[in-house]
Amino acid sequence: MSKIGIACDHAGYEMKEFLVGYLNAMGYEVLDFGTYSPESVDYPDYAHPLAEAIESGELTQGIALCGSGEGMAMTLNKHQGIRAGLCWQPEIASLIRRHNNANVVVLPARFVDNDEAVKILEAYFSAEFEGGRHERRIAKIPVGGGK
């Protein structure tokens, strides 16, 4: 069984709950980093633990949600070894995996519905990193700050 982490703020809470059920039905063991209600919270409080679980090797991939997706993506990408990509359509999800070897897919919960979120995750999970010229480009992304 594959393990995956998921984290959200209040704007992504309802979609996260839906996706946890979907992921469980697909055979994933889901580590839920919260939030656990629709009450207003700060997205970094949930992004950091997800990123740390990936950095430590506890997980290899994650899903993050917030209203626009931008706050989660910005926070996650401050961490070493995290390549989080914001996806609002399946083609982008496939590309962030194939070309950027993204290990976190970020969803803008206020701009996609549950059906589209499932299509985005399916595209992300079915894609594989292509390597080659993309490997060289990823190697140019600084890890842990600065050039």
- Distance from C-alpha of 128 to C-alpha of 97, rounded to nearest angstrom: 6
Catalytic residue among 8, 10, 66, 79: 66
What is the b/e burial string over 105-135, where b = at least 16 CB atoms within 10 angstroms of the residue's CB?
A: bbbbbeebeeeebbbbbebbbebeeeeeeee
Dihedral sign computed on CA atoms, order 100, 104, 105, 111? negative
- Distance from C-alpha of 27 to C-alpha of 25, rounded to nearest angstrom: 5
Is-catalytic flag, 99?
A: yes
For residue 61, what are its two tokens? 């991939």
The catalytic site residues sit at 66, 99
